[in-house]
Amino acid sequence: MLTWEEDVEVHALHKQGWTISAIARHTGRNRRTIRNYINGVTTPGIRKPAREDPFEPFVEYVTCRLREDPHLWARTLCDELEDLGYRLSYPTLTRQIRDRKLRPVCEACANATDRANAMIDHPPGEETQWDWVDLPNNGKASVATVAAAEPLTALPATPYPAILTEPRTASRQALVSYRGNRYSVPPELASGQVTVTQVLGSEVIDIVTTAQITIARHRLAPDGAGVIVRDHGHVYALEQVAMAAVGSAGRPHRRKERIPPGPAAIEAADTLRRTTTGTTTTSSAVEPSAATASTVIDLSTYERAARGRNTLA
């Protein structure tokens, strides 16, 4: 195989009237190699594969299936391919999907984690959060022992004339965390950068944008209370934005939602069957009849396919 530089030199010498034998002696290459590059049979920098690609016949079917179902498990796809004559391994399938970039990005799910989310009120106790603390002496010392060894100095009689500022990132629910509580902001700032300001000693906080525009003011809740302080206007605006986003982008796919083969995949499967076994699949074998009132799915087939496989890990 010649490099791009060698190919340029070969063509330049040929244009100067050198014979193929002279160019071959000059470059130390075979005459047939020089002739192929001059005639354009071989491309520089690209090595011709020694044998046919065994995965090439299955590319069309894999492309169609992943275009129809971007979340299709590779193990399920491998089972389908084995019925169509696929004799390569499962790691080969996953490597080919990755190297050829056959799995497309699901548009329905691409922006699902970036858009604003409305909050659903739930009773206390439905969510649990654990806070951890590292204690000295390999965790044998108690909190009381640590507190006694590190006493705090007394607070001054009057607060310092200062303003506390802390940068924060608003959540997708348009909430800003501050001192163990969460405070609402307009939905336009969901996942955006804001700054929480508090005049030392006051009972209110201001939330300002990066342009130093105050967009929310809340009464300060007790530190660590775990409450959510929300403005009714923010709640209503967030619900409208969230509903509009869902209506325009559609719901994201469930990860375990299996989409059966579509017309393009069925056509690719028929092509594979004609190539491997010389048989075809009629439309009635893969699609329900028009006269059939309902579709009956044999779940035992999926049970046998999943037995012994830890596909949910």
- pTM across the whole model: 0.41
Per-residue pLDDT of the chain (313 residues; tens, 9 = 90+): 788 888 899 999 999 999 999 999 999 999 998 998 899 888 877 766 667 888 999 999 999 999 988 888 999 999 999 988 899 999 999 999 999 999 998 877 776 666 666 666 666 666 555 555 666 666 667 777 777 877 788 887 776 678 889 999 999 889 999 999 999 999 999 889 999 999 887 889 999 998 889 999 999 999 999 999 999 899 888 888 877 776 665 566 665 667 788 899 899 888 888 876 655 554 433 444 443 444 556 666 666 666 655 544 4
Distance of CA 184 to the CA centre of its chain: 28
Separation in Å, CA 27 to CA 11, 14, 61? 12, 12, 45
Give the chain's radius of gyration (CA, Å): 33
| Position 184 in a domain | yes
Reading the block at residue 35, the tokens are 């002739």
Q: Does 233 share its domain with 265?
A: no
Distance of CA 265 to the CA centre of its chain: 24
Q: Does 168 share its domain with 221?
A: yes
Contacts of 78 by beta carbon, 8 Å cutoff, 6+ apart: 86, 90, 93
| Position 294 in a domain | yes
Q: Does 170 share its domain with 243?
A: yes
| Position 141 in a domain | no
Q: Does 290 share its domain with 229?
A: no
Amino acid at site 235: V
| Position 149 in a domain | no
- Residue 239 in contact with residue 118, Cβ under 8 Å? yes
Q: Structural domain of residue 23, as residue ranges?
A: 4-38
| Position 151 in a domain | no
Q: Does 240 share its domain with 266?
A: no
Count structural domains, the chain: 3
| Position 115 in a domain | no
Q: Does 31 share its domain with 75?
A: no
